[in-house]
Amino acid sequence: MARIIAVANQKGGVGKTTTSVNLAAALAIEGESVLLVDIDPQGNATSGLGVDPMTWGKTIYEALINRDNIESFIMPTEVNGLSLVPSNSHLAGAEIELVNMEAREQRLKEALTEVVDRYDTILLDCPPALGLLTINAMVAAHSILIPVQCEYYAMEGLGRLMESIQRLRQSFNPDLEIEGIVLTMYDARNSLARQVVEQIRGHFKESVYHTMIPRNVTLAEAPSYGRPALIYNAASAGAQAYLSLAKEFVVHGEKSTR
């Protein structure tokens, strides 16, 4: 059965989609069978894997709203072992449409039961807000992976997110765990970035991954070519950081299942 991981942070611009796409690709390159589910109406994970969000037929919207079988619109990607459930801007309406629906928080969890035995890991790329789409992801997930930008307001945003996770545990998913915190956009030349790293590691300790994702041109350029960094430029520091993160992620998963 797959580990279902929600990649989430209610703060935008922290490298959430970059982490979803590149960790998914790195895990596949490491030999795992991976499904990336794009549940962000912006569809950036979809376009980041070379799919035009507006030309694809069915998306995760149909699974959430119409309860269509999610298997019918899983698509392969350029990375062997990595599949995608796409998203597009139609999903923006789902936030409103879900409000009056029965078991509205459970829709994604129900959809994934069809495929959970087919993959080693399912990653859910969440929108940068704690609306019904992100709540659906957190209800469906076993754990949450939190990308955090190495900047001044990082701790403040993390504190609010942890409070939200605790409330969600009480209401919908008592077994939800913190998979880990990934420090992103790290610049070793920046003294503030070093201070933020020290502060987060001091507070969250073992929850913080050792691997840090650097500020890197390849990570910024690769999405415009519709390719993960490991396909666009495997030798880059950004691509190698996500490969290192994937290895750490696998070891962490093995420890948690013992």
Which pTM value belongs to this model? 0.96
Tell me the residue type at 125. Answer: D
Nearest Cα to 110, choosing from 64, 75, 74?
Answer: 64
Residue 172: is its pLDDT beyond 60?
yes
Tell me the residue type at 92. Answer: A
Residue 7: is its pLDDT beyond 60?
yes
Domain 3-249 falls under CATH 3.40.50.300? yes
Instruction: Enumerate the H helices of the chain as residue ranges.
Output: 16-29, 44-48, 60-65, 94-97, 107-112, 132-140, 154-171, 191-204, 217-221, 229-232, 237-256
In the chain, where the domains are located: 3-249
**Which pLDDT belongs to residue 155?**
81
CB 109 within 8 A of CB 140: yes
**Which pLDDT belongs to residue 52?**
83
Phi/psi at 139 (5° precision)? -75, -35
Residue 191: is its pLDDT beyond 60?
yes
99-125: average pLDDT: 95
Q: If you ran DSSP here, which 8-state letter would residue 172 be given?
A: T
Dist CA 32 CA 119 (whole Å): 8
Those residues whose C-beta lies under 8 Å from the C-beta of residue 209, and which sit 6 or more positions away, are 180, 181, 182, 183, 245, 248, 249, 252
pLDDT digits (tens, 9 = 90+) for 20-60: 999 999 999 999 999 999 999 999 999 999 988 677 678 99
Is residue 84 classed as helix, strand or coil in its secondary structure? strand
**Which pLDDT belongs to residue 258?**
55
Using pLDDT thresholds of 50, 70 and 90, give the confidence band for residue 18. very high
Residue 77: is its pLDDT beyond 80?
yes
Structure tokens at 165: 């996770």
Residue 16: is its pLDDT beyond 70?
yes
Residue 253: is its pLDDT beyond 80?
no
- Percent above pLDDT 70 for the chain: 98
Query: Residue 29, exposed/middle/buried by CB under 10 A (0-12, 13-18, 19+)?
Result: buried
- Percent above pLDDT 90 for the chain: 80
**Which pLDDT belongs to residue 200?**
94
**Which pLDDT belongs to residue 222?**
97
**Which pLDDT belongs to residue 255?**
66
**Which pLDDT belongs to residue 196?**
92
| DSSP calls for 16-28 | HHHHHHHHHHHHH
223-242: average pLDDT: 97
Residue 62: is its pLDDT beyond 90?
yes
**Which pLDDT belongs to residue 95?**
87
